[in-house]
Amino acid sequence: MFSYLVRRVLYAVPILLGVILITFVLSFVVQSPEARARAVLGQRATPQAVATWLSNRGFDKPRFFNTQPGEAWHDSQFFHHVVKLATFDLGVSDVSGRDLKEVFKQGAVPSLLLTVPAFFVGLLMAVCLALYQVFVRDSLLDTAGVLIAVALMSIPSMVYIVFGQAVLALLFNYFPVFGFDMAGFGTLRFLLLPVALMALMGVGGDVRLYRAVFLEEIAQDYVRTAQAKGVPQARLLFVHVLKNGMISLITLVVAHLPHLVMGSLLVENFFGIPGLGNTLFLAIQQSDYATVFASVYLGSLLYIVGLILTDICYALADPRIRLS
């Protein structure tokens, strides 16, 4: 197990380096640091202000290798970028100048409060509905279910939010439409509607996906054996098939992991939840490059960690998979 873990983590290193290279290319090569400085400081900034902005961030150094005589070859933008990200120095926001590590730390809690419940509610709904559809498979109800699921996933997420906010919150005047409060029961009041909407948004696509997984499972030999043995339909599905289907579901579920921490761009912004999604939304609106590129790195890091965790869960859940 230990050697497997080490190998798995080592395998992630080149991928992480690739991600760093991509963020570097995007943030320094595609758009030159000078253009970025101009975009942040405004078109009227003096050349001196631009030069100071660049040298403060080390953006005035050579791009990949320092070929200047008398200076170390690694004293360049790229190597500083790698070392900084590797040591979790995410830099400062282009707009507010705040330390991004602090910004992300602060935003993670509200995001998690929103996404974790939404994720579990959504997962439970999707798994139950998918199993029920498999239970009544090849009936009119199943066909209708598939159509409804496809219809639900054809609605863009912002329409769910706009509609949920306008109709439910304004008409019934029950849920607060905007704001956040980090104290006890108050939080719950603010979170109920966003959590419900977020769970609903993903349910269509998930039901469709999980139904396919369960349908594949039901064609297996062990299901026929259990049927021949006289196991009741319901028990067969909700115990035997669910247990085995879960193994395939783990991989699908992990794709959600970065979203859990990074929050939801749209939901958080609409409901005024001060999470990472909202931070990112504002950063996009204000052209805050530093924040956006740091989010890319953080999101990828979380995804890679998630993949490693999946592989471990996979091995633990299914003894047939050898850790080699």
Judge whether 1 and 323 are in contact, CB under 8 Å: yes
HSE-CB for 297 with a 13 A CA cutoff = 27
18 vs 186 by CB, closer to another protein:
18
Q: Does 144 bind another protein (CB under 8 A)?
A: no
Q: How far is the CA of 227 from the CAs of 110, 218, 241, 271, in angstroms?
A: 47, 11, 12, 49
66 vs 210 by CB, closer to another protein:
210
Q: Does 259 bind another protein (CB under 8 A)?
A: yes
Quote the tokens at residue 195. Answer: 């959590």
- Output Rg (C-alpha) for the chain, integer angstroms: 24
User: What is the rounded CA–CA span in Å between residue 129 and residue 204?
Assistant: 10
Q: Which amino acid is at 261?
A: V
In angstroms, give the least distance from the CB of 31 to another protein: 5
231 vs 302 by CB, closer to another protein:
302
Q: Does 248 bind another protein (CB under 8 A)?
A: no
Q: Does 164 bind another protein (CB under 8 A)?
A: no
- Which of residues 112, 215, 231, 246 is near another protein by CB under 8 A? 215
Q: Which amino acid is at 33?
A: P
Q: How far is the CA of 119 from the CAs of 1, 40, 255, 264, 265, in angstroms?
A: 29, 36, 12, 11, 15
- Which of residues 150, 234, 239, 316 is near another protein by CB under 8 A? 150
Which residues between 228 and 247 bind another protein (CB under 8 A)?
Answer: none
Residues at the interface with another protein (CB under 8 A): 14-15, 18-19, 22-23, 26-27, 30-31, 146-147, 150-151, 153-159, 162, 165-166, 212, 215-216, 258-259, 262, 265-266, 280-281, 284-285, 287, 289, 292-293, 295-296, 299-300, 303-304, 307
